[in-house]
Chains A and B, each alone.
Chain A
Amino acid sequence: MNLVLCLLSTRQYLTAERIRATVAGYADTASDEAFFRMFERDKAELRDLGVPLETGRRSVFDTVDGYRIARQDYELGDIELAADEAAAVALAARLWDSPQLAGAAHGALVKLRAAGVEVDEDAIAGVQPRVRATEPAFAPLLAAVQAGRVVTFVHRSHPRAEAKRRTVEPWGVVSWRGRWYLVAHDRDRNDVRCFRLSRISEPVSVVSAAGEVRVPPGVDLMALVRRSAGLPPVSGIARIWVARGRAVGLRRLGQLVGARTHAGRPGDELELELRDRETMIRWLAGHGPDVAVLEPAELAEAVRRCLSGAALAHGARDGRSAREAHPARGEHSPHSEPVGVSRA
């Protein structure tokens, strides 16, 4: 504290010897070695806090470096916030549910208050946004991003993929729809990639000095994550039949075409946008007899395969047994078999 006050008050560079002689706390150090150890540690602490410690010499005749703090780089600029702005700031400071970010936001709030801003933390009642970061990889990756260090870790691209070691230049961490991603330049693949933090399994190790990572200017981290983790584009339209009053969730996703009877049961015809094929098959098959795919035929067949697979896995003698026992029933269906689709 005394060192900061002293160096802030001086325009000239003060040498370590001079600091030792004048700043309270250093004078009673037992030896040169003890003083320099203490002084080095204090300088490191101040730099960690972001204190802009300058080194230089008063004149060409000086033989050793001196120290000072440039006041204009030290001091927070003037700031005045209106009550509603301060309330938004208070709410923002409480957004993080992660020790690293919550601590940093609180530190920022303390400084704003010290600059005279009144921040009432309870000003916006009834709203509580929280962003959690519980992934173990979060803290080391955030630190690496902020220090510009290259890191290496083990990652799975999806749950059933093989775990692979990646060495990357981290550009940023992004929370999107409640999940955290690392955006980084992958050195091995020489390309920009997004990594889901929950799929990073091994400890994150730093493999470079600080400041080695250069993030290209104008990079939009969010756009990169959205492209990598977002919904795939619409690849087609499915027409489905839904039994009356059933599959409410699917109805919310689709567009109602009109009433339609299927296999003698009343219901509705819907149009659904096809994006992720696997997910759509799962949703449609899950509804069993309450949903039938009208087209495309390829999707209808995939749903049938899914259903018979589930039946077989649960001990049905044969996923087709019921059908084969009553082959005639299929012919009563208003929808004949799609031509050219194998039913192996």
Chain B
Amino acid sequence: MTTGLAARLPRLLSLVPYLLARPGVRVADAAADFGVTEKQLRRDLELLWMCGLPGYGPGDLVDLSFSGDTVTVTEDAGMRRPLRLTTAEATALLVALRALGEMPGMVDGEVVRRAVAKIERAVGAAAVSTGVAVGVSAREEATTGAVRAALDHGRALRIRYYTASRDVVGDRTVDPMRLLLIEGRGYLEAWCRSAEAVRLFRLDRIDEVVELAEPAAAPATARPTDLSAGLFRPASGQREAVLRLKPEARWVAEYYPVDDVAELPDGETEIRMRYVDDAWMVRLVLGLGGQARIVSPTSLRAALIQRAQGALDED
């Protein structure tokens, strides 16, 4: 064993039992299961072939037989079972499973409980998972179940949805694509027929769901949302505002997605953020009661003063 091999060792230790359990497995399938290239897996197999028990004669070495693009273990050198899961591995898997079990509508909770019990039994008491936990909001239970059912049935949905950026509720017909959990919140990804685009709908903002008789028919051009850079991406039609925040309102820069944050010498923070609707921005800053000031667009300042004074006059 040299250091170069250290990264390969966990894979090598699992490879013999893996192949034992699957005589005649295709090398390409094995590579996919281990998450490596076929070339890398062939190199691993060549190395295995040279490993064995002291004596290193026939019968002591791991022996493999290749046939076409498949491989079979003929001598296992006593390595018949994989190594136990480490605490870190057991934790990562069991915590994820338990979290799934608590997400309503994602997967059958009973199935998850059975899988958890079996894995716990197999890994043994030494690897009881601790130290990591995941919890999600359970408010969306009813909605998630209905959305999940529509996905399973391949049907379109009629939803009543609250759009926070414009503070309106509206009905729309959508073709469900995926159920997502991002940043601790459930979303329905669907083709929205009125917007004629793929949209993410927060499950806790779907007030009503009706499964339609017609099949879900997202057009072939509907692409799953790229979430690699997070939930908020620049989009056309968004406006941009510059705000000055007093220290009491500094949290705004953490809570909302912002493009630029600059700490000013007087202790204030200047942020640049995108938004969809002027009325939303006025609501945000009005609610901050002077802890935040709109630098631009200047037109919003007049609108804000008018709203504030309108309210003060009315009382």
Contact = CB atoms under 8 A, between A and B. Distances in A.
Contact of B53 (A5, A87, A252, A308): A5
B96 A105 contact: yes
B307 A222 contact: no
Interface string B208-251: 00000000000000000001001000000000000000011011
A129 B181 contact: yes
A145 B35 CA distance: 28
The range of chain A's interface size is 35 or more
B122 to A, nearest CB: 4
A312 B293 CA distance: 10
B301 A315 contact: yes
Contacts of B133: 172-175, 221-222, 225
Contacts of A306: 286-290
Contact of B135 (A22, A106, A146, A226): A226
Nearest to A72: B124
A207 B302 CA distance: 55
B93 A108 contact: yes
B82 A76 contact: yes
A131 B107 contact: no
Contacts of A287: 283, 286
Nearest to A85: B115
A85 B254 contact: no
A317 to B, nearest CB: 10
B186 to A, nearest CB: 8
A110 interface: yes
Q: Is the interface of A mostly helix, strand, loop or mixed?
A: helix
B142 interface: no
Interface string A298-336: 001000111111111111100111110010011001010
Interface in A209-227: 215, 221-222, 225-226
Contact of A74 (B14, B83, B307, B313): B83
A305 B313 CA distance: 13
Interface stretch (A56-64, A111-119, A268-276): A111-119
Given A113-B18, A115-B122, A288-B307, A175 B184 contact: yes
Nearest to A312: B290
Contact of A307 (B10, B11, B184, B289): B289
A254 interface: no
A126 B99 CA distance: 18
A49 B121 contact: no
Most A Cβ at <10 Å: residue of B5, B137, B169, B184: B184
A320 B309 CA distance: 7
Nearest to B293: A313
A146 B21 contact: no
B307 A22 contact: no
B18 A114 contact: yes
Contacts of A2: 1, 51-52
B56 interface: yes
B67 interface: no
B182 interface: yes
B97 A89 contact: yes
- Greatest chain B CB density within 10 A among A24, A247, A307 is at A307
B308 A248 contact: no
Nearest to B148: A127
B52 A75 contact: no
A235 B14 CA distance: 57
Given A110-B14, A130-B181, A285-B286, A159 B77 contact: no
B28 interface: no
B92 to A, nearest CB: 4
A40 interface: no
Interface string B15-46: 10110011000000000011100000000000
23 contacts: A6-B54, A23-B54, A106-B35, A115-B21, A130-B181, A146-B91, A171-B131, A176-B184, A178-B185, A252-B162, A252-B169, A281-B287, A281-B289, A289-B314, A309-B289, A310-B285, A310-B308, A311-B304, A311-B309, A312-B290, A319-B308, A322-B312, A333-B314
Given A124-B107, A128-B180, A307-B308, 6 more contacts: A49-B13, A50-B85, A85-B111, A129-B181, A142-B131, A175-B184
Question: Which 4 A-B pairs rank lowest in CB-CB distance, beginning with the nearest?
Answer: A178-B184, A309-B290, A178-B183, A306-B289
Interface of B: 1, 3, 5-6, 9-15, 17-18, 21-22, 33-35, 47-48, 50-56, 77-93, 96-97, 99-100, 103, 106-108, 111-112, 114-115, 118-119, 121-124, 126, 130-137, 148, 151-152, 162, 164, 167-169, 176-185, 207, 227, 230, 247-248, 250-251, 253-254, 282-294, 301, 304-305, 307-315
